Structure 1
């Protein structure tokens, strides 16, 4: 008779545990069914440039389909960009507009390398570097990183001694680094090397020698005209005097003729 109350109590206890077990099973199923978190979106490199004082350069990248797609693809594998500040890009724009579409894209891609570099990494990486413009190109499109103390400079053959200097860190978070520079990086593949001699001026047009000789001959002829030609312009009285002088100079004197005649007559006698 006493066993029935114990059995009833046990049954009641089990019924009380059933809802808890069902809730635990449901929560576990939901935890397993929850989708994994999506990876963070890659950083927008042009937006970061704009915020860091390189708005004009970022606009040029966005206006070049080839450059923009290459920059976006490079972000996933790691990239270090050097964007010219707006004040540095403004005076360069006439040269930029003179480039072809391919030349513009190459110039923009020349401002990035396909490797992520911290500022400390740049300071330890003196030497030439391949740029994004090198990929798929038959040309080098390299620049040289040089460091003097804490100053990081970028030099190209077209810039010579006028190296671009890193002025500020715009963004630095693996795998993207962006640094603002104070000059546009000019690849020698698009611009003449620094210190190249200027083209010689075109020679002046030569005057034909024949015409020069004729002109000198004419002037000499006028200056050296003979005397009789001048007599044509003299007064009539002067012309008569000159005629008498010429006749007197050309004819023998009458007195000498008479003396000759007398001498001849005496000889005959």
Structure 2
């Protein structure tokens, strides 16, 4: 009996190194850190959310695609125009340079993760992936009216883009579908203020002008009957007869007739 116990103990001691060798790899596997999660494919998510055309433009721009992928790791909020909103804008997009196209695409994302509630609480200017830290350009303004989140720019004729749907929202990535393309003022004309209306002419000068035009001219008094001294002799005689018939004053030459007749008689 003792001999059997010693043999069994020796056998078990011989098996212990083998068991330890098998347990070591299993323990090593259990302690290995878990692999980091794969970052979401932002363009694939856009395509599934009704922004397939916009996602295709991002994938076709190497600069925009690399910036979007890098931003995913640190946090990003993208605003992708729906296919219906992007379609009428394509002629303007094609007229841009390669750098302009990349800037416009990056203008549709903020380098911060925002939930929808966070957007509603963040009224005011917001930086984008296209913002240059030195120039401080390529910003848009978030405005909220009630529960509606809108994004506005200063480009002429640009309509406000309204958030229509949440495509994806899981920290650190949020994607929202909007109903208009965001147009940066750096690529498009600034909205011009309407020209002021011309000031109305002063009433006083105009009234004075009317008075000057319609001022009655001074009309000289109508001349009286011509003096008898200036009339012809035949007219003088007619006037003398007419005045005599009407009891009017006698002209000076008629009063001198008696004296003339007396001188003529003396000479005879």
**TM-score, structure 1 normalization:** 0.63
Q: Distance in 1 between matches of 2:228 and 2:81?
A: 86
Q: Which shows bigger deviation, 236-245 or 191-200?
A: 236-245
Change (3 A) 1:181 1:35: same
Change (3 A) 1:236 1:170: farther
Deviation at 1:224, TM superposition (A): 41
Change (3 A) 1:33 1:233: farther
5+ residue gaps, structure 1, are 26-30
5+ residue gaps, structure 2, are none
Could you tell me whether the CA contact under 8 Å between 1:139 and 1:189 is conserved in 2?
Answer: no
Q: Which shows bigger deviation, 166-175 or 243-252?
A: 243-252
**TM-score, structure 2 normalization:** 0.64
What RMSD in Å do the two structures reach over aligned CA positions? 10.2
Could you tell me whether the CA contact under 8 Å between 2:132 and 2:138 is conserved in 1?
Answer: no
Once the two structures are superposed, residues 38-93 of structure 1 have per-residue CA deviations (whole angstroms, 9 ceiling, x without a partner) of: 21221111111011100000111111111111111111111000000000000001
Q: Which shows bigger deviation, 46-55 or 203-212?
A: 203-212
Q: Distance in 2 between matches of 1:162 and 1:51?
A: 25
Aligned length, in residue pairs: 262
Q: Classify the secondary structure of the residue corresponding to 1:167.
A: strand
Runs ≥4 residues deviating over 6 A: 1-6, 198-269
Change (3 A) 1:149 1:226: same
Once the two structures are superposed, residues 182-224 of structure 1 have per-residue CA deviations (whole angstroms, 9 ceiling, x without a partner) of: 0000111111223556999999999999999999999999999
Q: Distance in 1 between matches of 2:106 and 2:264?
A: 127
Change (3 A) 1:20 1:110: same
- Where does residue 91 of structure 2 map in the other structure? 94
Change (3 A) 1:203 1:146: closer
Q: Classify the secondary structure of the residue corresponding to 2:66.
A: helix
Deviation at 1:11, TM superposition (A): 2.9
